[in-house]
Homo-oligomer: A and B are copies of this chain.
């Protein structure tokens, strides 16, 4: 039986409030064997209190050993099996620039490239143009008109941009036109089914027009297109959990992921203080709040252990303000680990705590990787976190008599 079908069957309504605070890339590693992680090094009196009062454990974002991107990482936390629900690259790219994708869209990742006189690719990234140049080139491509299709061309950075084709009945089973090596012409798009053939035709027309428009440019004189993706068919948080849900995130990607699962996107400002203010102001309007904090990930990606420690301490400082709203269930976790030592996302399980009056005591006294290892939640797949949140909120009825 599908987990969502089970939750839909068992869900009950009440007045409880759930807060899911996601510190992106929260989990870490010691810089030297036997040392402390970033979270263990940080002074986090308020998180420690939550850990003591609540129950701790470690979430496995996807499966043991599997390092997730932001998409699967967050889908798991929202209770969507990240191996079942896959968000295509084109859609993720569009979400990342805050483009509001709709159910009629096929989103595609575009690259500016350089072709020679025979049309063969000589540089797949067109010498990495400036983002300014990218913006200017995208503006030129916006001229392209194809009857019956609305076309959006939006810059990302350097050679990267997003194309969105909006029309009824477009499929995404279309091959990448990027041949992945120089010395070859961009490939012709082909659709694997009728609706994707329609997308492929539009794509080929678009690429041809782009070639004409960019012919006099140098070195950005052609485009390749890849990661064709339609809007995923995905039930909303409201449909699955019966939770009126809101996202309080600063970065576009996370707003986009939250929008995918049907959350309202609140105006979150740009600082943690702004986010907490937003939470307070909208407290009565929602059952579930997803609050996203980026800097634990970005400092980890920078390999800056000390900066990550400081970002964790800044997060700790706002815990009392959130607690003062008396959420029935308060969860602190991350979407994956980003150890400064690795300067990248990793597969390591993520410290997680649930604070609620119905938690079983587990003797954990501090919030950190080693402590969580002894916690009552054990190690579990992140996709079960929402079931636990619902249970602790008293929002799940009994399964079977």
Q: Chain A residues in contact with chain B, CB under 8 A?
A: 1, 3, 6, 10, 29-30, 33-35, 37, 52-53, 58, 62-73, 82-84, 86-87, 89, 92-93, 341-342, 344-348, 357-363, 369-370, 373-374, 376-380, 384, 387-392, 396-401
CA distance A380 to B60 in the complex (A): 11
Residues of B within 8 A of A347 (CB): 388, 391, 396
- Listed A/B pairs (6) with beta-carbon separation below 8 Å: A35-B361, A63-B384, A63-B387, A66-B391, A342-B358, A373-B376
Contact (Cβ within 8 A) B53 A391: no
Contact (Cβ within 8 A) B65 A384: yes
6 closest cross-chain pairs (CB), A and B: A65-B387, A65-B391, A69-B400, A64-B384, A72-B400, A65-B388
The count of identical subunits is: 2
Write the nearest CB–CB distance from A59 to chain B, whole angstroms: 11
Closest residue on chain B to residue A37 by CB atoms: B360
Q: Which of A3, A69, A401 gathers the greatest number of chain B CB atoms within 10 Å? A: A401
Contact (Cβ within 8 A) A72 B29: no
CA distance A346 to B69 in the complex (A): 34
Q: Identify whether the interface residues of A are mostly helix, strand, loop, or mixed.
A: loop
Closest residue on chain B to residue A389 by CB atoms: B65
Extra contacts, 8 of them, besides A70-B400, A70-B401, A92-B401 (Cβ < 8 A), are A1-B84, A64-B377, A64-B380, A65-B389, A66-B396, A67-B396, A345-B398, A373-B376
CA distance A65 to B384 in the complex (A): 8
Contact (Cβ within 8 A) A391 B67: yes
Contact (Cβ within 8 A) A401 B6: no
CA distance A52 to B138 in the complex (A): 55
Residues of B within 8 A of A52 (CB): 34
Contact (Cβ within 8 A) A399 B363: no
Write the nearest CB–CB distance from A187 to chain B, whole angstroms: 21
Residues of B within 8 A of A37 (CB): 360
Write the nearest CB–CB distance from A384 to chain B, whole angstroms: 4
Write the nearest CB–CB distance from A157 to chain B, whole angstroms: 15
Which of B68, B358, B379, B392 touches A378 (beta carbons < 8 Å)? B379
Residues of B within 8 A of A64 (CB): 377, 380, 384, 387-388
Residues of B within 8 A of A361 (CB): 30, 33-35, 370
Write the nearest CB–CB distance from A271 to chain B, whole angstroms: 26
CA distance A23 to B80 in the complex (A): 34
Which of B1, B67, B68, B93 touches A83 (beta carbons < 8 Å)? B1
